[in-house]
Amino acid sequence: MAKKLIGYGDFFCSNCGDRIEKGKKKCPACGVWYSEKKRYGTSSALGAGGIGWSDRIKDPRYKKYDRNYRRYSYIWVGALSIIIPTIMLATGDISLDKEGITVIAVIIGVLWLFCLAFLYRGRNKPDWDGQVVDKRIDNKTRRVKSGDDYIKENYVEYIVVFRLTDGSIKEVSYKDSQTRFDYFRIGDYVHFHGKKHLSAIEKYDKSQDEILFCIKCHQLNDARNNFCSRCGCPLLKGKPQK
């Protein structure tokens, strides 16, 4: 069975990526402390991300994450395909006649259609290199439904502007995420990984931040981590500076 679970919280050793063993204070695989206090000793988070492109981009765990994610999605949708019709039958909303069976078939069909469309969305895009040339915060309004009416709601959009090596400009919007926005600084060199299973913008110099984003589950990690504490995928880090 899959070693990884999809969920929230720390499930994986931040040093070696092994599953955390409940009740243990130290990782039995690599000997590192799980507890937040002792975990990093006196080492600083600043600089721990290192400088340079990470060579871990080919790690098989990224693909494995997708396989596991799909597996758990199938289990969930499979369960819903049984639970929903069962409830409808039990409450008398439908009965097992021709009409009822049609309704069940449609519901199950739609469930799986959405599931597969979601899991297999996206495609491989070309990689690109670039530099952060501008950042801006746009104040925008959107129409949201309030009762029977629509009302205007103000929101901010965080936009990072990249100039690609071919001279073109690319704007990436980090909708409501100021943390992501702050993560990029003007002048930063970046590489975009366009593989479908691994779509992420990697910063060349990661030594100026105390945080690292997991490129798979987007969990915010301490820069001293080597593996995402939530999903166990390797974190992209450069060479340490000392």
Residues in touch with Zn ion (CB under 5 A): 13, 15-16, 18, 27, 29-30, 214, 216-217, 219, 228, 230-231, 233
Least Å from the CB of residue 6 to Zn ion: 10
Least Å from the CB of residue 217 to Zn ion: 3
Least Å from the CB of residue 62 to Zn ion: 10
Closer residue to Zn ion, CB minimum distance, 61 or 191: 61
Angle between the N-to-C axes of helices 98-119 and 61-90, in degrees from 0 to 180, rounded to the nearest 10: 160
Name the E strands within the chain. 128-146, 149-164, 169-174, 189-195, 198-203, 211-213, 220-222
CA dihedral 52, 58, 61, 66 (to 10 degrees): 110
Give whole-number Cα distances, 195 to 192, 220, 233, in Å. 9, 21, 16
Least Å from the CB of residue 202 to Zn ion: 15
Least Å from the CB of residue 17 to Zn ion: 7
What phi, psi does 107 have (nearest 5°)? Answer: -60, -50
Residue tagged 């002048």 (tokens): 187
Tokens matching residue 14: 């931040």
Q: What is the rounded CA–CA span in Å between residue 183 and residue 190?
A: 12
Residue tagged 């994450």 (tokens): 65
